Amino acid sequence: MQSVEGGCFCGKVRYRAEGTPTNTMVCHCQSCRRVAASPVVAWLTFPTEKFQFTAGSPREFQSSEPVRRTFCGACGTQLTYAHRRHPDAIDVATCSLDDPGAFPPTHHSWLSHDVAWLRFGDGLPSFQQSRTK
Ligand SMILES: [Zn+2]
Ligand SMILES: [Zn+2]
């Protein structure tokens, strides 16, 4: 089975996910932006049971009532996003993978939260909120 590995910038926290991601997208929402201090954050979704941390222990915090995010307590890299309403899925920050280029996104979400100067020209489907809303 295909597996992908990744981790934080300093290397203390590492993870592995198996199988094919069920979703790959770029999020423009305000929470992702502020947590990562970046205009957008790209995410891959895996079944929770296919994902595990293999080295170190990430720190965890709630970015909103139903959402728990993990990050490296030493270097600050954002690693995962888990929503209480979807306990069987975990989002992994695409650019924390060893090979982020292997998983191009299929769409953009939450363009309604964009900073004014942000422009993407990739032609992918874009949604003002979540694709599923
Ligand atoms: Zn780190
Ligand atoms: Zn987001």
- The residues, any chain, with a CB within 8 Å of residue 54's CB and separated by 6 or more, are 5, 14, 15, 16
- What protein residues have CB closer than 5 angstroms to ion ligand 2? 27, 29, 32
CA of 131 to the centre of ligand 1 (A): 31
pLDDT in tens, 52-71: 999 999 999 999 999 999 99
What pLDDT, on the 0 to 100 scale, is given for residue 1?
A: 67
CA angle 70, 71, 75 (to 5 degrees): 170
Model pTM score:
0.94
